[in-house]
Amino acid sequence: MASLSFLHLSSATRFTPRGTPINHRARTQKSFSIRSQSAPVLSQDELKKLAADKAVESVKSGMVLGLGTGSTAAFVVDKLGQLLSTGQLSNIVGIPTSKRTQEQAASLNIPLSTLDLHPHIDLAIDGADEVDPNLDLVKGRGGALLREKMVEAASSSFIVVADDSKLVSGLGGSGLAMPVEVVQFCWKYNLVRLEGLFNELGCEAKLRLAGDGSEKPYVTDNGNYIVDLYFKNPIKDGFAAGKEISAMEGVVEHGLFLGMATSVIVAGKTGVEVMTK
């Protein structure tokens, strides 16, 4: 299990993902915390922005940056654009993980490139859908899991930003979607196989729809479909699960991001906390 770092949390229980306390009494405390004296009630977007702003403090001029996708990552991109416009940052290059992020970054005049031209990335910053005590993640509910994994795997450091609703005791524990990107050809065949693979965990597999009121499937930036897996019980062994999913013909990528995050910045009621390995 990864060593987690926190400050300013009462007792030995450092966070309670989905109602399950995790005890870290013996772990080294080597982090910072930002706490409000008046303890205002912040919205989820305000919490995400707090985490994003802290993550951007790690960005230095001249860096090549992986730019994530999703609502939390959008706050990161906004902050980078602001710092560039005021001259507080310069000469950075962004590698976007989706067309949506590319468009946002371009609108903020953030210089952009690709992995082809910059195969080594200094730092990637992205959100997560679930974070477990080992800093393993579920990502991809925004539909960009393949490009996110490619960019973040090429990064020397990978900072995850999240609000405390994303903390779970085990991956799949939120009961929300764990995405698997599959080719369009015979997608139903793979949906049935994926559901059967995790039958003992009460898994239900659903094809992701476009969300425009039609029954059209959602199509990724890579021209593929997404099968979302919903678990009644958390995944017992993420690495074994990821290996079995990847072994299926027609599977392009899965949303288990294992052993990739170097730190996770979490905003919650107690302030901003940093979890590190």
**Is 64 in the same domain as 149?**
yes
pLDDT of residue 232: 96
Whether residue 25 lies inside any domain: the answer is no
Is residue 5 within 8 Å of 31, Cβ to Cβ? yes
Is residue 101 within 8 Å of 73, Cβ to Cβ? yes
Supply the range of the domain harboring residue 189: 177-248
**Is 129 in the same domain as 261?**
yes
**Is 159 in the same domain as 241?**
no
**Is 148 in the same domain as 55?**
yes
Is residue 141 within 8 Å of 129, Cβ to Cβ? yes
Q: What is the pTM of this model?
A: 0.85
The Cα 68–Cα 82 span in angstroms is 17
**Is 264 in the same domain as 221?**
no
Q: Which CATH number does the domain housing residue 217 bear?
A: 3.30.70.260
**Is 227 in the same domain as 270?**
no
pLDDT of residue 102: 98
Q: Which tokens in the block code for residue 264?
A: 């996770």
Whether residue 265 lies inside any domain: the answer is yes
pLDDT single digits (tens) 115-163: 999 999 999 999 999 999 999 999 999 999 999 999 999 999 999 999 9
Whether residue 23 lies inside any domain: the answer is no
- Which pLDDT band, with edges at 50, 70 and 90, does 22 fall under? very low
**Is 86 in the same domain as 187?**
no
**Is 136 in the same domain as 230?**
no
Cβ burial, residue 142 (10 Å; 0-12/13-18/19+):
buried
- Which pLDDT band, with edges at 50, 70 and 90, does 15 fall under? very low
pLDDT of residue 129: 97
The Cα 191–Cα 79 span in angstroms is 39
**Is 67 in the same domain as 117?**
yes
Describe the strand order of the beta sheet including 251-254 as a list of residue ranges: 204-207, 225-230, 178-182, 251-254
Show which residues are catalytic: 148
**Is 153 in the same domain as 267?**
yes
Q: Which CATH number does the domain housing residue 92 bear?
A: 3.40.50.1360
Q: Which tokens in the block code for residue 229?
A: 């897996």
pLDDT of residue 20: 44
